[in-house]
Amino acid sequence: MGGNALKSIQTHRLDAGEYHALVPKVLEIIRSVVGDQRLLCAIEAYRQKLDFGDMDVLMASGGLRADYKDLLEKAFKSREVYRNGNVTSFDFDGFQIDLIAIPDDKFEYAKAYFSWNDLGNLVGRIAHKMGLKHGFEGLYFPLRASSTHLIAEIAITLDVNKALTFMGYDPVRFAQGFDTLEDIFRFTASSPYFNPAIYLLENVNATSRIRDIKRKTYTTFLKWLADPQGFQAFKNERADINGSYVFPQDKSVWTAPLRAQFPGFGASLDQALLRHSRSEAVRAIFNGERVAELTGLSGKSLGNLMGDMRNSHSSADAWVQWVLSAGQAGVDAAVLQAASRQGPG
């Protein structure tokens, strides 16, 4: 995506008229390979975009043939193909096509996320400040034991309208689409949670900074924020736009509203917290330091013993249940018994 994935051939840009005339032809060729009934669309850009460096096409991936990429390469007579995860980039008469394969159930959310240039990324910064993750796979809650230890990513919703509403956006306005980049910027700034400071490159992490500084839409948005005729003019027009929301340091304040608006999320969060609590309890009873102290084993012998004990149970859940039922004394006895069978290290 972005028009520069292909390196060995020279690709060209298309003006808007040429691009929009090419879209149905590209989709027809793809359908001839993957089937007429498959969900497929070209990602929408703002309507007054003058030219295009590539075409992003979203495709539902359920039931695809294993060799579909090879078949597409032949169908488009591509001179270069670059495959990166779920994205396949190839040329069609010197123009780059990026085909993005998405699980069927996430197609509609991905379509909304990728549409309208970098809007998904801009809106996602609001979600990030709430402690959430807004991406092409849905709205998620990263559950962490610490700032660096990710326990689980809990799905909140695959309904983009509900996700936008939670972030303070009007899904009806979003559904109308956008004619210009400024329309996209104004929509981004329309949330009551909007604050320009969260977008400044000096206020984002290194990964986001390296990524966003390369995005033309993002850097243009930063200029719009600083332009008196940009964000400031928008605020002057809209009495409901404050533009200075201060996000709480404690992101747990969002958990109660999430539970209220997404009941399924609350149940999933409780299950994840319970699993983590049980896992921590198991780790306190059965760990390398304790087993080494009991058996005198180390290195590979220690690892083999611990692995054999875990694998002696039918599943990970069965192992957890046994450890918690046996308790420290029971597990210690089993460790010593297993070590006696294993013999000297």
Q: pLDDT value at position 1?
A: 56
Give start and end residues of each alpha helix (H) in the chain. 16-34, 68-76, 107-114, 119-129, 160-166, 171-176, 181-188, 206-212, 216-226, 233-237, 255-261, 263-285, 288-295, 299-311, 316-342
Q: pLDDT value at position 343?
A: 61
- The one-digit pLDDT tens for each residue of the chain (345 residues) are 555 667 677 788 999 999 999 999 999 999 999 998 999 999 999 999 999 999 999 999 998 888 888 899 899 999 888 888 889 999 999 999 999 999 999 999 999 999 999 999 999 999 999 999 999 999 999 998 876 788 999 999 999 999 999 999 999 999 999 999 999 999 999 999 999 999 988 887 878 788 878 888 999 999 999 999 999 999 999 888 878 899 999 999 999 999 999 989 999 999 999 999 999 999 999 999 999 999 999 999 999 999 999 999 999 999 999 999 999 999 999 999 999 887 655
The C-alpha angle 2, 6, 10, rounded to 5 degrees, equals 105
Q: pLDDT value at position 3?
A: 53
Whether 143 contacts 158, CB under 8 Å: no
Q: pLDDT value at position 271?
A: 94
The C-alpha angle 292, 293, 296, rounded to 5 degrees, equals 60
Q: pLDDT value at position 146?
A: 73
Q: pLDDT value at position 239?
A: 82
- Which domains are assigned to the chain? 14-102 (3.30.460.10), 118-266 (no CATH), 286-342 (no CATH)
| Residues ≥6 apart with Cβ < 8 Å to 171 | 160, 161, 164, 165
Task: Write the DSSP symbol of residue 325.
Answer: H
Q: pLDDT value at position 5?
A: 63
Whether 126 contacts 166, CB under 8 Å: no
54-60 and 95-102 as β-strands: parallel, antiparallel, unpaired?
parallel
Q: How far is CA 94 from CA 49, 51, 79, 120, 132, in A?
A: 20, 15, 9, 28, 39
Q: pLDDT value at position 2?
A: 54
